[in-house]
């Protein structure tokens, strides 16, 4: 049996993996993205558990039953968690940019998306404005095409 060479500290294999794919959306995601084209954020709801899911799911994670209703999420919500990205990642916006998990009105779960309109010049100050419970609203792009980037969140003043 041939002996393998010893690995030395600092040995690194560099490579790149680019994968192109065509992914079938299916009925649930298809209806969600069609809703975005109409400037509506649609969630699924399980009538057995009462949980409404955004992003929508085909099956309830609590009852294991099919989600059997569609509900339209409200345009206002609250931040559950947020961060400001300061490192560059391929195919993402130039940093810094803010992202937040937001629970919209009428929905039980939170969905991540970008937060626009926030001065990110002072990251610590901006993070203080993104604390959990902060009220936000949904804004759609002028001409949605059926992608999650058709909308984003903006901070709103507390009422």
pLDDT at 158 over 70: no
Please state the domain extents for the chain.
26-155
For residue 56, give both structure tokens.
Answer: 């929508």
Mind listing the pLDDT tens digit for each residue in 130-145?
A: 999 999 999 999 999 9
Mind listing the pLDDT tens digit for each residue in 59-71?
A: 999 999 999 999 9
Contact 43, 52 (CB under 8 A): yes
For residue 98, give both structure tokens.
Answer: 């803010």
Q: What is the pTM of this model?
A: 0.83
pLDDT at 159 over 70: no
pLDDT at 70: 98
pLDDT at 9: 66
For the chain, give the DSSP string. Answer: -PPPPPPPTT---------------HHHHHHHHHHHHTT--EEEE-TTT--EESS--SB-TTT-SBP-EEEEPPSEEEEEEEEEE-S--TTSPPSPEEEEEEEETT-SS-EEEEEES---SSHHHHHHHT-TT-EEEEEE-SS--SSGGGEEEEE----
For 12-51, give the DSSP string. Answer: --------------HHHHHHHHHHHHTT--EEEE-TTT--
């Amino acid at each position: 049996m041939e002996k393998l060479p010893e690995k030395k500290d600092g040995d690194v294999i560099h490579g790149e993996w680019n994968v192109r794919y065509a992914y079938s959306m299916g009925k649930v995601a298809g209806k969600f993205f069609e809703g975005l084209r109409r400037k509506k954020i649609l969630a699924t709801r399980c009538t057995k558990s009462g949980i409404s899911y955004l992003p929508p799911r085909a099956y309830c994670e609590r009852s294991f039953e099919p989600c059997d209703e569609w509900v339209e999420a409200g345009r206002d919500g609250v931040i559950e968690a947020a961060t400001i990205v300061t490192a560059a990642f391929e195919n993402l916006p130039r940093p810094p940019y803010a992202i937040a998990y937001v629970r919209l009105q009428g929905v039980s779960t939170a969905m991540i998306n970008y937060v626009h309109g926030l001065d990110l010049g002072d990251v610590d100050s901006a993070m203080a404005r993104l604390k959990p419970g902060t009220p936000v609203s949904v804004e759609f792009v002028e001409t949605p095409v059926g992608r999650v980037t058709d909308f984003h969140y903006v901070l709103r003043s507390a009422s």
